[in-house]
A and B are shown apart, each in its own frame.
Chain A
Amino acid sequence: MRETEFKWVHFRLYWVWGLCCLLFALILCRAVQLQLWEGRKLAKIAKGEIEKLIPRSHKRGTIYDRNHFELAMTIEMESVFAQPKEIKNIQEVSGHLGQLLSLDRKRLASLLNPEKPFVFIKRRATPDECEAIRAQGVEGIAFIKEAQRFYPYMDLASHVLGFVGTDPNGLEGLERQYNTYLKSPYLYEPSIRDALGRSLYLSGMESIQENEGLSLQLTLDKSIQYFAEKELKKGVLKTSAKGGMAIVLNPKTGEILALANYPSYNLNAFQSAPTSSRRNQAITDTFEPGSTFKTFLIAAALEEKKFSINDMIFCENGAYRVGKHVIHDVHPHGWLSFQDVLKVSSNVGATKIGKKLGNKSFYSYIKNFGFGKETGLDLPGEVGGVVWPYHRWGEIEFSNICFGQGVTVTGIQMASALGAIANDGRLMKPYIVRQILDQKGNPVKHFSPHPVRQVLSPGTARLMCSLLARVTESGGTAPQAAIDGVPVGGKTGTAQKVAPETKHYAHGKYVSTFMGLVPVESPALVIVVVVDEPKGVHYGGVVAAPIFKGIAENALPIIGIKRQAESGSTLQAPQEKPDMTPWVIAQKAKEEEINQSTELKYKRIMPDLRGMSMRKVVELMKGYEVPLELLGSGKAVSQQPLPGTVLGQKTRCQIQFQPML
């Protein structure tokens, strides 16, 4: 009995052992099968579960001015979206959201259609709004990051910068012209998430890089741009004109320092601006240049040696018959010297000069100055204007062209053509983008000044500058453009507008122009100002010249050109006001101290500058004529060399300033 029982136990043990072995073998087989045959497929599925590819939003590059101030930037903003399928109580949710996002409740309820898997509630909501929704924890509502273009200076250089649409594609201006550079490629970023949705970083994953497009550094100077816009606006409003434009150009390089249009618009809310005010008139609109065109006629006549500047021309007392037509001058003149024809802007004189120069020759100069063709400025929508070939000019057409009628030009063409005169006769291609930079600020592409052609000999060009300077003297047409302390040259223009309906000159509608260069002896700035349809007085010398003056006065110190002070009016502290605060009294005491120390100047001994303002330091150190290095801002706290040190001719003085707290 016992033996049979023992055998039975043995049998059962073997049986269990066998079963275990079988099961183990099965597991092994399955493991081998999974690992060897289906391994790759399964690994892929597993990876798909934990690894998610997250689309990164397009991030456009930044646009900087020439001094690296940001003019356009992209930031990430959160958009609120809903998954209506997951919302149980739509009425309640829409009520909540309506309150938090100040949206219409009924519209929201209809938007949250339970059939739809995804719907945007509000794109680019403010951080406060997102925070409020998060705090409330509204069900079925989530956030997605979207890029938003932002222009910190609002309407500054709006026509140059342009804007981008909701899908970040440039629609206007530089945003459009350089879209391919500014726009970043569409990228998916790998991200590993655990079962709870927390992200984690595993080795072997590519490091997450900022997906940002390339940046642009412009030739524009934000300060000059600001003054150009401010002065233009002031001038346009003063004359109740329809609009206007101002261009500031560096004639030596062709760099555009400012390009302003009025009316302007806020780039952050471009949708609400009328299309007409978004147009960059300086390159897209043509107009008759009027008398400014005489400049190029006179230059051509001088270059061709048809006249010398003192040749006398009879100006027919203001009325000159050409075929069936009579040409008039605003003020009748008898005999005028060649240079005075430009100074007083005589139409009769210009006609006679043109006749002697010949239409073929004048036409070739017009073309060489760049009229009738786009300048190639890197902005979209540039037009070339109209200059008919000389063999299509009749006698009267030719006469008209001599004083700027019957041809159309753009503002940028005028700036670039005058730039050729200012730049020793060499025409430069205008440009507005200096460099394209990568994410780290290293230049990827550099744009250098590009000479187009030599239009005039340097001698003629310099002579032209001195002739243009006479226009702003008393007796010229633009004394209002003259700037105290720096010689200015330029030419006025007033042209009647052509009515598009009748194709004839519209009564009382004018374009007033002034184009100028400063300083005359070595022009550093060329400024063109055009005012469209001023009311009342419409002469370029009255309407546009003061705008030129306002821009130039502000721009000269920015580019480092000092106006010469007249003798006697040297740098002086502003007049003290009778109401003397303790601060003013302290200042006065300091001034007396300075007066005492001026005696030290002649001994060339370094004075004690500590405690002085930067203004006082500059004022005091002016007489020593030593190189100054001013660090920081506020009041002087330390100096090198120390007070009492004898100064050599080129002793470098370093003064450290600190703000007073």
Chain B
Amino acid sequence: MRCLILLLVVFVPSVLVYIWLHVQTVGFSYDIAKAQKQKRELQEMNKKLRIQLANLKSPERIERIALTQLGLKPPEKGQIEILK
């Protein structure tokens, strides 16, 4: 009888701990997969934003805005200073 109680005291909690660990692992697996998906989505978003940025930085667009909206004009030759 004592043996049986000892067995129960040692065995049952171990089994419970094992099950708990397993459940935790599965839970984290879902979290990791979700985080990875999010990472990919963010990377994709980053790429799309970089395209948008490049679009906005297009020399043609900058020149158009400078000439029409800001009233700037190309520099005269003496107005260009080259910084090393």
B45-56 near A? 1/0 per residue, CB < 8 Å: 001101100110
Q: Which of B1-9, B11-19, B76-84 contacts its partner?
A: B76-84
Residues of A within 8 A of B29 (CB): 192, 200-202
Residues of B within 8 A of A156 (CB): 58-60
Chain A stretch 188-239: residues in CB contact (< 8 A) with chain B: 192, 198-202, 208, 210, 222-223, 226-227, 230
Q: Which of A82-90, A463-471, A496-504, A560-568 contacts its partner?
A: A560-568
Residues of A within 8 A of B80 (CB): 557, 562-563
Nearest-neighbour CB distance to chain B for A332, whole angstroms, equals: 38
Say whether A572 faces chain B, with CB atoms less than 8 Å apart. yes
Say whether A118 faces chain B, with CB atoms less than 8 Å apart. no
In the complex, the answer to whether A200 meets B54 with C-beta atoms within 8 Å is no
Residues of A within 8 A of B78 (CB): 565, 569-572
Closest to A559 in B: B82
In the complex, the answer to whether B26 meets A70 with C-beta atoms within 8 Å is no
Q: Which of A248-256, A622-630, A636-644 contacts its partner?
A: A622-630
- Report Cα–Cα, A183/B77, bound state, in Å: 45
Residues of B within 8 A of A73 (CB): 47, 50-51, 54
Say whether B38 faces chain A, with CB atoms less than 8 Å apart. no
Chain B stretch 29-84: residues in CB contact (< 8 A) with chain A: 29-30, 32-33, 36-37, 40, 43-44, 47-48, 50-51, 54-55, 57-60, 73, 77-84
In the complex, the answer to whether B51 meets A565 with C-beta atoms within 8 Å is no
With A75-B48, A485-B77, A570-B78 known to touch, is A152 a contact of B30 (CB < 8 Å)? no
Residues of B within 8 A of A152 (CB): 51, 54-55, 58
Closest to B34 in A: A199
Partner of A226, one of B30, B48, B60, B84: B60
Residues of B within 8 A of A150 (CB): 51
* Chain B residues packing against A (C-beta within 8 Å): 26, 29-30, 32-33, 36-37, 40, 43-44, 47-48, 50-51, 54-55, 57-60, 73, 77-84
User: What are 12 A-B contacts with C-beta separation under 8 Å?
Assistant: A70-B54, A75-B48, A152-B54, A192-B29, A199-B33, A200-B32, A226-B59, A226-B60, A230-B60, A570-B78, A572-B78, A618-B83
17 new A-B contacts, CB < 8 A, other than A69-B54, A201-B30, A574-B79, are A70-B50, A70-B51, A75-B48, A75-B51, A152-B58, A153-B54, A154-B58, A199-B33, A200-B32, A200-B33, A208-B36, A223-B59, A553-B77, A562-B80, A562-B82, A563-B77, A572-B79
* Chain A residues packing against B (C-beta within 8 Å): 69-70, 73-76, 150, 152-154, 156, 192, 198-202, 208, 210, 222-223, 226-227, 230, 484-485, 553, 557, 560-563, 565, 569-572, 574, 618-619, 622, 627-628, 630
